[in-house]
Structure 1
Amino acid sequence: MGSTQQVRDDVMPQWSLPDVSFTMGELRDAGFMKLWPGDNCYYNSFITTQAIAWREQKFGNDVKKVLDAINGVKKLIPFF
């Protein structure tokens, strides 16, 4: 996925860098991301096989379910 800046630019451009960094840390703590820390950010990251397995278990290959879940999360986050 790349650095904090890359994740923000590619996935969550409306978010601040500190918010993206915090969320990446939460995903790391849940076992969903592997992160390499840098100066006040992460300089590299990737999604773990645990995250992929969770997604497959929860959604299978149903793209509509994935998009509905993403939209549900977006509604819960006030700055998204």
Structure 2
Amino acid sequence: MILRLLLSLGIFAVGLMLAAGMLVASVVLLASWSVRALWLKLTGRRVTPFTVRFKPREAFRTAPRRSSGGDVIDVEARHLS
């Protein structure tokens, strides 16, 4: 009974720490974005959102190519029945 209570309290404490960490991270992110936006407004530049440039087609161009059949060596062929 006591062990179960201690285990529940431990899991609850870990959950609280995780939630507090996420809250701190979001507050830091919000504060940094607000300071950035304020600085851009003070210097007369446009405030633009953070964007990530991602081109889905580039993944296929940079992926390693499959080797041709002539490159395969040291293989014993078996007949499958």
Shorter chain as denominator, the TM-score bin is under 0.3
Structure 2 length as normaliser, TM-score?
0.24
**Which TM-score applies when normalising by structure 1?**
0.24
More strand by share: 1
Higher relative contact order (CA 8 A, sep 6+): 1
Max Rg structure: 2
Higher helix share: 2
